[in-house]
Chain A
Amino acid sequence: MTPAETRAEIERLHPAGFAWAMACCGRDRERAEDVLQTSYLKVLDGRARFAGRSSFQTFLFGVIRRTAAEERRRAALARLFPGRAASDDAPPSADASLSADRVALRAALTRLPRRQREVLDLVFAFGMTVQEAAQTLSISPGAVSVHYDRGKKRLAALLRRRTP
């Protein structure tokens, strides 16, 4: 894949990439932009190399997920040293225009383990298959199935509890 082709692919997948970065960063827009930028940088300067074993989207989503995890670790480290990167602790801003069921979904998602949340996002929001989700998360398809099943059951139960 030439650099021009890589750039074109990135541009094509950019909206979906941003949505995935938002999901990986707890809907924090500023953090999601940072993560996305760093991910693009990794892909464009060759630190993350696309080997063609999966689709480019799967590869890019994997890079975004790993970058978000690094960012989280960095933020956790910064919390250990007060005075360093205080903005990392800022909670995501609440969106007043959200419908009640989306507010409920976001609240329920925060109560799920990260892996389950990621699997549900990839499958429901991005329409990925179990195989694709497994490649994105670098885990086995069996593990994805387990996370999907448990996550869906728990999410449905949490949402049911909220509806009268």
Chain B
Amino acid sequence: MNNQAEDSELERLFREERRSAEAAAPHADILLSRLKRRRPAGRPSVGRAALVLAPVLILAVGALFLRSRAHRADELPAAAARLASWKAPTDALLWTSDLWKRIPVLAPRAPAPGLSLEPAKGVER
């Protein structure tokens, strides 16, 4: 079967399907008159439900957000005070102001036994 014959065979089959469907079509007037009866009794669609639920959800989320914010604001001063008075255990090591006020005194080193502190090299006696 060549392409053209194949095409016309497919067309014939599709046209037959269309004709049989058209012949079985309900009358347009019947379908159109059913619209008025259907409109008020129509099942609530997902879109309509979403439209109703969306403002409720937004309000609920908003209320929760405001409540948690107010709660946080109450807690903030106490937390801030605790944070301000907190001192690290090694805080004392950070106090270095004494270093800048005086020269550190080094303890005199005791000479080892048998060693003289007098200079011996390059000194004429």
Q: Which residues of A contact B (CB under 8 A)?
A: 7, 10-11, 14-16, 18-19, 22-23, 27, 29, 33, 36-37, 40-41, 44, 74, 77, 99, 101-102, 105-106, 120-121, 124-126, 152, 155-156, 160
Does B6 sit at the interface, judged by CB under 8 A? yes
- Known contacts A19-B21, A19-B25, A22-B21; decide if A37 and B35 are in contact (CB<8 Å): yes
Q: Which residues of B contact A (CB under 8 A)?
A: 1, 6-7, 10-11, 13-18, 21-22, 24-26, 28-29, 31-32, 34-35, 38-39, 45-46
Q: Which residues of chain A are near B7, meaning CB under 8 Å?
A: 152
Partner pick for B14 among A40, A77, A120, CB 8 A cutoff: A120
Interface SS of chain B: helix, strand, loop or mixed? Answer: helix
Q: Which residues of chain A are near B35, meaning CB under 8 Å?
A: 37, 40-41, 44
Q: Which residues of chain A are near B28, meaning CB under 8 Å?
A: 10-11, 14
Q: Which residues of chain B are near A41, meaning CB under 8 Å?
A: 35, 38-39
| Min CB gap B11→A, angstroms | 5
Q: Is A152 within 8 A of B10, CB to CB?
A: yes
CB-nearest residue of chain A relative to B34? Answer: A37
29 CB contacts below 8 A, A to B, read A10-B32, A16-B22, A18-B21, A18-B22, A18-B25, A18-B26, A19-B21, A19-B25, A22-B21, A29-B24, A37-B34, A37-B35, A37-B38, A40-B31, A41-B35, A41-B39, A74-B45, A102-B13, A102-B16, A102-B17, A105-B17, A106-B17, A121-B14, A124-B13, A124-B15, A152-B6, A152-B7, A156-B6, A160-B1
| Min CB gap A29→B, angstroms | 7
CB-nearest residue of chain A relative to B47? Answer: A70
- Known contacts A101-B13, A156-B10; decide if A19 and B18 are in contact (CB<8 Å): yes
User: How far apart are the CA atoms of A14 and B29 in the complex, in Å?
Assistant: 10
Q: Which residues of chain A are near B22, meaning CB under 8 Å?
A: 15-16, 18-19
Q: Is B32 within 8 A of A124, CB to CB?
A: no
Q: Which residues of chain B are near A36, meaning CB under 8 Å?
A: 31
Q: Is B31 within 8 A of A37, CB to CB?
A: yes
CB-nearest residue of chain A relative to B24? Answer: A29
